[in-house]
Amino acid sequence: MLLCYACRTIKPEAPKIAETEIPIAPEPTSFVDIPITVELLKHYNEAEKSVPVEYSGKDEPCQGIRYKYYFKRSPFQIAGNGNQINLKFQGEYSIDLTYCATCAFGTCIVPKISVSCGIGEALRKMNIGYSSTINISNDYSIKSSTSLTQLEPINKCRVSFLNIDATDRLIEYVRNELNAAGKEVDKNITAYNLKSEVEKLWKSTTSSFKIGDFGFLNINPEAISMSNLNINGSSLKLSVGIAAKPVIKAENIKNNPKPLPLLSTYKPANGFNVFVDLQTSYDSLSKYLTTQFSGKTILIKKRKFTATNFKMYGVGNHKIGIAVDFIGSRKGTVYFTGTPTYNHKNHELSFPDLTFDLKTKDILLKLAKWLFNDKIIQAVRNNATYNLTGFLNDTKKRLNGEINRDLGDGISSKGEVTDLDIAEIYPRKSSILLRAFSKGKLEIKIN
């Protein structure tokens, strides 16, 4: 102490750094709402291929009405609403009727009466429609129930002298065939392996992604849910809700893959809420503070204090330390400690309780009491204020560039971070961890 006094150099002992880091609270659960579009047209095309285009049949008893018919359909027209898909097509038909009043020994013994529709003339027409109601079970299986909802003749075939409506007879003949076609549609729709598509998405969320120079994004999913279906045309739209603890960390922490859970109850989240752990180095903060303060002289009763260099570091217990080298009426190093505080309104990081460390205070009171002055404390506080607006805007811009990507396996993501702000601050030994809270929208498309 006497030696330091003799050489007029102030060199107090640095604040003791805590051996253990302050514990960081676990990431809170976030809810990511991901709209998904699945194109069903190719699956209905497969269903259509399995449904016959033409039907024919006949019934030729010796006595009574004999008939032969031919029926063909046009391609499906698909229109969806809610969880229902409506399939419409037009049927064209011909029917040949013969009537025998009396038969003997397997032969008609009276003149037969014959009449036909659609033979030697344009085929008669009717409109036909199906309705498919689609639901998803909690094991991801698709339940489809297709029923025949419309059989509407456009131009009927009526045989007046037999008092027979040939079109109604035809409808009776082909109804079973058409009902069988509806079951074939159900068979093809339920064969769509939705679970495998969701497993791809789930697998991608359990993997880590490199996010530029920020580090690695770990979504850490915990549960998954699905909204009600909304079918528009041939596109199936739904939202997948993922309860997760997403975080971006500097290091790549590999998690063990989690099996796809059963579907839970869906709760709309309107986009995503993600906590992002951002590391800010003390070196960059120190350089900024040195640039802001270096060379400025504070006069205290005609004595000079000029800071030349600042070094910031973590000391534990939620506090940071700042070593300030100075020259002037005396020279040496003094130490400050303070607690980082964030102002959400102006996006400023500051240390409002920053003051001389106790060991520095003791030395100053003994060797240079004039240095223990509020002017110096206030000047360091004022300059140790960091406006993070540019940092947050730049971070948001780079995150937006990273979340629009091809995820592989026919899955792509498109989204936007709309809001990003600091939620918590953790001063660590080597850097300050800024836990940011981000909001945005994300869409997933499965091709």
With cut-offs at 50, 70 and 90, classify the pLDDT of residue 183: confident
Residues 228-281: tens digit of each pLDDT: 888 877 777 888 888 887 777 667 767 777 888 988 888 777 777 777 777 788
Q: Categorize the per-residue pLDDT at 164 as very low, low, confident or very high, splitting at 50, 70 and 90.
A: low
Identify whether residues 325 and 446 lie together within a single domain.
yes
pLDDT at 204 over 80: no
pLDDT tens-digit series, residues 391-418 = 888 888 888 877 777 766 667 777 888 8
Q: Give SS3 for 226.
A: strand
In this structure, are 8 and 131 located in the same domain? no
Q: In this predicted structure, which of 58-62, 360-364, 377-381 has the lowest mean pLDDT?
A: 58-62
Looking up tokens 């009276």 gives: 110
At residue 314 the predicted structure's pLDDT band, cuts being 50, 70 and 90, is very high
Q: Where are the alpha helices (DSSP H) in 25-101?
A: 41-50
Burial status of residue 174 (CB atoms within 10 A of its CB: 0-12, 13-18, 19 or more): buried
* Predicted local distance difference test score (pLDDT) of residue 212: 66
Q: Is 112 in the same domain as 16?
A: no
DSSP 125: E
For residues 294-322, give the mean pLDDT. 91
Alpha-carbon distance of 88 to 49, in angstroms, equals 15
Phi, psi of 183 (to 5 degrees): -65, -35
**Residue 309: how many CA atoms within 13 Å on its side-chain side?**
6
Residue 84's pLDDT is what?
A: 86
Pairing relation of β-strands 77-81 and 84-100? antiparallel
Q: Which residues are within 8 A (CB) of 203 and not within 5 positions of it... i.e. 6 or more apart? A: 257
Tell me how many helices (H) and strands (E) the chain has: 8, 31
Rounded distance, CA 274 to CA 265, Å?
21
Asked if the model's pLDDT at residue 5 lies above 60, the reply is no
Alpha-carbon gap, residue 327 to 265, rounded angstroms: 66
Final residue in a domain of this structure, among 154, 172, 190: 190
User: Quick one: which of 277, 265, 275 has its CA closest to 241?
Assistant: 265
| Residue 226 sits in the same domain as residue 152 | no
Residue 1 banded pLDDT, cuts 50, 70, 90: very low
Whole-number pLDDT of residue 36: 77
Burial class, 58, CB count within 10 angstroms (exposed 0-12 / middle 13-18 / buried 19+): exposed
Count Cβ neighbours within 10 Å for each residue of 13-51 and write b for 16 or more, e otherwise: eebeeeeeebeeeebeebbbbbbbebebeebbeebbeeb
The band of 162, judged by pLDDT with boundaries at 50, 70 and 90, is low
Strands 30-39 and 54-59: unpaired
| Domain limits for position 70 | 41-190
Nearest Cα to 30, choosing from 303, 220, 177, 254?
Answer: 220
Is the pLDDT at 304 greater than 50, yes or no?
A: yes
Tens digits of residue pLDDT in 142-154 = 888 888 888 888 8
Cβ atoms of 248 and 217 within 8 Å: the answer is yes
104-141 confidence digits (pLDDT tens): 888 999 988 888 888 888 898 999 988 888 888 888 88
For residues 42 and 188, is the Cβ–Cβ distance under 8 A?
Answer: no
Please give the Cα distance from 392 to 347 (Å, whole number).
Answer: 9
Specify the higher pLDDT residue, 362 or 87: 362
User: Rounded mean pLDDT of the chain?
Assistant: 83
Q: Measure the CA–CA gap between 27 and 304, rounded to whole angstroms.
A: 48
Query: Are both 214 and 165 inside the same structural domain?
Result: no
Dihedral over Cα of 322, 325, 329, 330: its sign: positive
Residues 47, 36 within the same domain? no
Q: Please give the pLDDT value at position 159.
A: 64
| Residue after which a domain boundary falls, among 190, 206, 231 | 190
429 pLDDT exceeds 60? yes
Spatial separation of the C-alpha atoms in residues 88 and 240, rounded to whole Å: 30
Strands (E), 101-214: 103-104, 107-108, 113-117, 124-136, 142-153, 158-159, 164-165, 208-211
Does 174 share its domain with 27? no
pLDDT for 66 equals 86
Claim to verify: residue 221 and residue 115 sit in the same structural domain: no
What does the pLDDT read at residue 358?
93
Identify whether residues 372 and 260 lie together within a single domain: yes
Tens digit of each residue's pLDDT (9 = 90 or more) over 186-198? 887 787 777 887 8
Q: 64: left (phi > 0), else alpha (psi -120 to 50), else beta?
A: left
Rounded Cα distance, 57 and 71, in Å: 9
**What is the number of other CB atoms lying within 10 angstroms of the CB of residue 304?**
13
> Residue 4: pLDDT above 50?
no
Quick one: CA dihedral 162, 113, 99, 177, positive or negative?
Answer: negative
| Count: domains in the chain | 2
Q: Where is average pLDDT lowest: 165-169, 361-365, 407-411, 413-417?
A: 407-411
More confident residue, 332 or 238: 332
User: Residue 447 pLDDT > 70, yes or no?
Assistant: no
What pLDDT score was predicted for residue 3? 42
Which of the given ranges, 28-42, 238-252, 293-307, 402-416, has the highest pLDDT on average? 293-307
Please state, in angstroms and rounded to a whole number, the distance separating the CA atoms of residues 329 and 297: 11
End of a domain among 158, 190, 222?
Answer: 190
pLDDT at 2: 43
- Which residues have a Cβ under 8 Å from the Cβ of 189 and sit 6 or more positions away? 40, 43, 44, 47, 132, 134, 142, 144, 146
Structural contact between residues 385 and 397, judged by C-beta atoms closer than 8 angstroms: no
Share of the chain above pLDDT 90, in %: 24
What gap in Å lies between CA 56 and CA 33, rounded to an integer? 51
Asked whether residue 165 falls in the same domain as residue 283, the answer is no
Contacts of 345 (CB under 8 A, 6+ apart): none
Question: Quick check: 118 and 135 in contact, CB under 8 A?
Answer: no
Instruction: Work out whether the CA dihedral 344, 346, 351, 352 comes out positive or negative.
Output: negative
Q: Output the pLDDT for position 301.
A: 87
Q: Are residues 158 and 257 in the same domain?
A: no
Whether 259 and 346 map to the same domain: the answer is yes
Model pTM?
A: 0.60
What is residue 272's predicted lDDT score, i.e. its pLDDT?
76
Q: Is the pLDDT of residue 95 over 80?
A: yes
